[in-house]
Structure 1
Amino acid sequence: MVWSIDSIPEQNGRIALITGANSGLGFDTAEALLEKNATVILGCRSIKKAKEARDRLLSKTSYGTIELLNIDLSDLVQVNKAADQVGSVFQKLDLLINNAGVMAPPRTCSKQGLELQFAVNHLSHMALTLKLLPLMVNQSGARVVTVTSGAQYMGKINWSDLQGEENYDPWASYSQSKLANVMFSLELDQRLKESDVNIASLSAHPGLARTNLQPTTIAANGSWQASIAYKLMNPIFQSSRMGALSQLLAATDPKAKSGEQYGPRFNFRGYPNLCEVASSALNNKERKRLWEVSEKLIGDLVQINPTKEILSKNK
């Protein structure tokens, strides 16, 4: 039996924050959760994008409740402020879906001067998660879902040039950030379990899903070769609605467990199943190293002291 949107249990009373909710996987995830009566916070890079997404969602469904959040993941200071806003307005959070991402742009830096893909895809989502964990501690069935991609299997953490300052390859940096997503998800799972905190940490990837990432990447790089390749491959891409099923399963299925990853069949396309993470993500020492390096990069820009206390209470 396949797992589909119809499989999502009732979400009434639950609050979910989705980053990158204005398009693609994030938008489809928001729509599905709203149809199950969740309160969905649309985390978007600008309020304009958030409002446009809200209007489109309201034209599709009359269920659930929509809230808006301006969160620019290219700026850790703004991530900190956005997380504070969530805490002041809601006081609790049941689901955090770290969905937003950038893919293979020319080398660009975040507001803090960090390579953009590593900053947006990994660091800011780690910072946001650690900032919001105290809102999730007392919530039954609380979950963090970090969205990665099949690029994780080709990823390698380039410790000698983490920010691509010496030799930047857009696809290698993208794969590194997607591997980092999985490593963070697994390390968070381990630390939550060791601290006896009942919050689940899972990862998910959409396979080959048609979103705005592909045309945005082609436009940013101006590559006619990539444009032709995308046109040739386009027929085998599945819809973003199908791709979103993996993260929806990870977020809502009662049988899904912390530490697991979900993706389409053969990591390609189709309905979601339990799938293996990249073998590189299973190295405990490498995961710990990434966590510690990432914490230092986040630094004092995001106040995560309450989370540090939560994750060390039983150690």
Structure 2
Amino acid sequence: MDKDNKLAIVTGANSGVGYEVTKGLLKNGFHVVMACRSVDKANHAKKQILAELPLSKLDVMSIDLSDFESIKDFAQEFKAKFQRLDILVNNAGVLLNKPRKNSADIEMQFATNHLGHFLLTSLLIDLMPDSKSSRVVSLSSLAHKKSEIYFDDLNCDSQTKWDAPYAQSKLACLMFADELQRKLALAGKKIISVSAHPGGTDSGLFDHMPPIFMSILRYTFVPIFLHSIENAAKPILKAALDSEVKGGQYFGPTGLLEMKGPPGIAKRTTYSQREDVAARLWTISEELVGASFKVE
């Protein structure tokens, strides 16, 4: 089918990496749905994008990935409007510097970054054509290397490092992508599940940090180690669009400390490749979102 008739969803598309991924997909002829928590911010972003790419097919839909009912409402509305989905980019994420929980009493970063996308994918994957150009792209992070899945403490209540919840959530995203690919392969599906990380970029995640810490990062660390948001989007776009991509691959920048540079295969920890952990995480994720995720 012609790309002009292909449809993609990008969560968190109104700013940062999601904004640039949206533009990249539009430039490749896709119709894109911007799935965002703030409709006002998303409409503002849409206006900016259409000023640059006026012939684009671009829609805004509301979703709060920390709220499982909101995700179900989004999926229902999406299915009422569209009959297919070719690419799902699970991009939206939060990085918090103080403890927060969602309405289900689940740590906010784990709920938003991992569980929300787990549930969203489960509700929409049946719309995806059985083709290797159909992609579920999950965003992980270099932070995954600092974590394990704390099955006895998923809310990270006993963790002492401020970024432990974020690191765990991004490890979960990576392991979810791998487990989804295994289940797709076992079911004989051609749909591809892949993961990617943007490297180092000031994409808005720093906005939740203490102001002094944020300023120090932006004026010292950022210029040396981080790359532009446009370049940060390239590994995600490669994962979504490259015809040579294989299921289960993990992409990121290949330069200094994987913070920036040309996109390519990214490094991952041995722990992140443990199939027993990924399978247990899948089961617990089903329990926490209150829904079964069967790949058939």
| TM bracket, shorter-chain basis | over 0.9
The residue type equivalent to 2:140 in the other structure is T
Aligned-partner residue type, residue 126 of structure 1: F
Matches within 5 A, 1:255-266: 255-266=244-255
Q: Give the 5 Å matches for 1:1-315.
A: 11-138=3-130, 141-167=133-159, 169-214=161-206, 216-218=207-209, 222=210, 224-236=212-224, 237-266=226-255, 267-300=258-291, 308=294, 311=295, 313=296
Cα distance in structure 2, aligned partners of 1:61 and 1:225: 36
State the distance in 2 between where 1:18 and 1:174 align: 20
The whole-number CA distance in structure 1 between the counterparts of 2:54 and 2:24 is: 12
Alpha-carbon distance, 1:119 to partner: 0.4
Measured in 1, the distance between the counterparts of 2:200 and 2:79 equals 35
Return the offset for 1:212: 1.0
CA distance in 2 between counterparts of 1:138 and 1:268 reads 34
Report if aligned partners of 2:91, 2:139 keep a CA contact under 8 Å in 1. Answer: yes
Residue type matched to 1:293 in 2?
Answer: I
In structure 2, relative to structure 1, the CA distance for the partners of 1:231 and 1:162 (3 Å cut) is same
Measure how far apart 1:91 and its partner are.
1.3
Q: CA deviation at 1:225?
A: 4.0
Q: Decide whether the 8 Å contact of 1:92 with 1:139 is kept in 2.
A: no
For 2:88 and 2:223, the matched residues in 1 are separated by 32
The range that moved more, 131-140 or 248-257, is 131-140
Following the alignment from structure 1 to structure 2, what is the Cα–Cα distance between the partners of residues 11 and 105? 41
In 2, Cα distance between equivalents of 1:81 and 1:278: 36
SS, match of residue 106 in structure 1: coil
For residues 87-114 of structure 1, give each alpha carbon's deviation from its aligned partner in whole angstroms, at most 9, with x where no partner exists: 1111110000000000133111112211
Aligned mates of 1:50, 1:281 — CA distance in 2: 33
Answer yes or no: is the 8 Å Cα contact 2:31–2:56 preserved in 1: yes
Superposition deviation, residue 169 in structure 1: 3.7
Aligned-pair distance for 1:137?
Answer: 4.0
Q: Tell me the secondary structure at the aligned position of residue 17 of structure 1.
A: strand
Cα distance, 1:139 vs. partner?
5.3
2:8 partner SS: strand
Aligned residues: 292
Partner AA of 1:248 in structure 2: L
Tell me the secondary structure at the aligned position of residue 4 of structure 2. Answer: coil
- Give SS of 2:268's match: coil
**How many percent identity over aligned positions?**
34
Answer with 98-107 or 119-128: which moved more: 98-107
Q: Which runs of 5+ in 1 are unaligned?
A: 1-9
> What amino acid is the match of 2:179?
E
1:283-305 CA distances to partner (integer Å, 9 max, x unpaired)? Answer: 111110111011100114xxx5x
Per-residue CA deviation, residues 45-77 of structure 1 (Å, 9 max, x unaligned), is: 022122111101111112330011101111011
Bigger shift: 167-176 or 127-136? 167-176
Q: Which moved more, 1:131-140 or 1:114-123?
A: 131-140
TM-score when normalising by structure 2: 0.94
Q: 1:12 is paired with a residue of what secondary structure? A: helix
Helix, strand or coil: the match of 1:160? coil
- Cα separation, 2, equivalents of 1:168 and 1:74: 23
CA contact (8 A) 2:26 2:56 kept: yes
Distance between the aligned counterparts of 2:75 and 2:97, measured in 1? 27
TM-score (norm 1): 0.88
Q: What SS class does the counterpart of residue 113 from structure 1 fall into?
A: coil
- The amino acid across from 1:243 in the alignment is A
In 1: Cα distance, 2:95 partner to 2:32 partner = 25
1:167 Cα deviation from its structure 2 partner: 4.1
CA RMSD in angstroms, aligned pairs only = 1.6
1:138 offset after TM fit, Å?
4.0
